[in-house]
Amino acid sequence: MRSIDPAVKSEPRGRWLRHDDPLWLAVLARLRHDIHHHPAYLRAEARWLGGRPEAFLHVEGEALWFAPCIVRRAQRPGVEAVGRTLDVVSPYGYPGPIGSPEHAAPGFCERAFDAFLAALRQRGAVSAFLRNHPCLDALPPVDESPLLTERAWKTVLIDLDGDLEAIWSRVSRRRRQQINKCKRVGLQVRRVALRDGLPALMGIYDETMDRVGANADARFDAAYFHRLAPLAGHLEVWLVERRETPIAATLVSRRCDIIQTPVGGTCEAALADSPDSLLCWELITWGHATGAGAVHLGGGVGGRDDGVLRFKTSFGPGRARFRTVRAVLDPDRYAALTRARAASLGVAVQALEQTGFFPAYRAELPGDARAAAPRAAGR
């Protein structure tokens, strides 16, 4: 690694970066990163989540540790009465933290994480919900306590090293049959620019969200997709078409030789043909031909062992670990916020805690107008 720019290099210290700070992109230029770390992605997420896109940078000599996040006010009915307070959440997907611990003394990631939590407390944050990146993970192991907990799930990572025939042989027999059937009935996969593919993607995505019963509050709207326009150089749309009519679509990102599909869907009338089987295989084929390292298909809905996860595991045995960390930074205020939220809903605090949602003062209950949907794991 060549010398760090003087604007970045320093003695051990941390600082917050705004999304429009040139240093944000300068740091990304020095680190392996994904689409989820780009400031344009954070801006789109911040509008959706109702907060400000920021990032915490910790520097020790040549080593960098970088954590993007959304900083927001706690704004649930009943919670405002407790006073102004902040909480922090990772954007949707796999946003980090990322870093270069190989250029630091042992314990660098642990020190950086501690500095991050201390900086949050200094700003008056009451809680933090963090998602890691399964391939670019600089989030240290967590020493669990009542105030700091970690949860982990398996996610599917298809290694593209080796011969394509060997990769095909690891696809389940049933999935291979489905892919071959898609080809026999004439389904075609087409790559298009983000702008050109958005209309088809949004229509198919909305139909899919209707089918799975996702509430409007917990699904991307047209404005969200259009806010991704600055990422046109990093995102494209892949379509599966039958006689030139799109029947499945997905966003595709590729950064640091990792291919991912952040958002997609399938038309209900095409489910029996499983066009997403062909789409996933074409992604694997394309990635292998162009020298990518892996296709990260992700896990089940909300980390569950469900049909979505089983579909993804049918493409191969590769697994990675997706982690989330829940930190209560101000226990007294966290408890007060949770009591206020429970009172506003007319339920006991335990009813919110039993949802498993974090932070509990943002939890939804069955029948709530803002009920949790497939996307929600921490919001």
- Three-state SS at 142: coil
More confident residue, 359 or 217: 359
Tokens describing residue 375: 């996307």
**pLDDT tier at 13 (50, 70, 90 boundaries)?**
confident
State residue 217's pLDDT score.
67
Q: Is the pLDDT of residue 277 over 60?
A: yes
- Domain 10-147+329-362 has what CATH class? alpha beta
Do the Cβ atoms of 362 and 345 come closer than 8 Å? no
Q: Whole-angstrom Cα distance, residue 349 to residue 338?
A: 7
Q: Is the pLDDT of residue 372 over 70?
A: no
State residue 300's pLDDT score.
73
Q: Read off the pLDDT of residues 247-267 as tens digits, 9 standing for 90 and up.
A: 999 999 999 899 999 899 999
Question: What is the share, in percent, of the chain residues with pLDDT greater than 70?
Answer: 92
CA-nearest of 72, 75, 57 to 113 is 57
Average pLDDT estimate for 117-135: 94
Q: Where are the beta strands (DSSP E) in 74-206?
A: 86-89, 98-99, 125-131, 148-159, 188-193
Average model confidence (pLDDT) across the chain: 89
Average pLDDT estimate for 269-289: 96
Vertex 197: Cα angle to 235 and 212 (nearest 5): 90
Q: Is the pLDDT of residue 81 over 80?
A: no
Q: Read off the pLDDT of residues 183-241 as tens digits, 9 standing for 90 and up.
A: 999 999 999 999 999 999 999 999 999 998 877 767 888 999 999 999 999 999 999 99
Distance spanning both ends of the chain, measured CA to CA:
36
Q: Read off the pLDDT of residues 92-104 as tens digits, 9 standing for 90 and up.
A: 889 989 999 888 8
Q: Whole-angstrom Cα distance, residue 78 to residue 127?
A: 17
Do the Cβ atoms of 62 and 99 come closer than 8 Å? no
Q: Is the pLDDT of residue 368 over 70?
A: no
Domain ranges of the chain: 10-147+329-362, 155-321
Do the Cβ atoms of 72 and 50 come closer than 8 Å? yes
Q: Is the pLDDT of residue 376 over 70?
A: no
Identify any residues that bridge with 151 across adjacent strands, giving them in sequence order: 324
Same fold for the domain at 10-147+329-362 and the one at 155-321? yes
Least confident of 11-25, 153-167, 182-196: 11-25
Name, in order, each residue with C-beta under 8 angstroms of 118's C-beta and a sequence gap of 6 or more: none
State residue 367's pLDDT score.
61
State residue 285's pLDDT score.
97
More confident residue, 307 or 182: 182
State residue 161's pLDDT score.
93
For residue 183, give Cα distances in angstroms to 200, 268, 274, 277, 282. Answer: 21, 19, 11, 11, 11
The verdict on pTM exceeding 0.85 is yes
* Architecture of the domain delimited by 155-321: 3-Layer(aba) Sandwich (3.40)
State residue 10's pLDDT score.
45
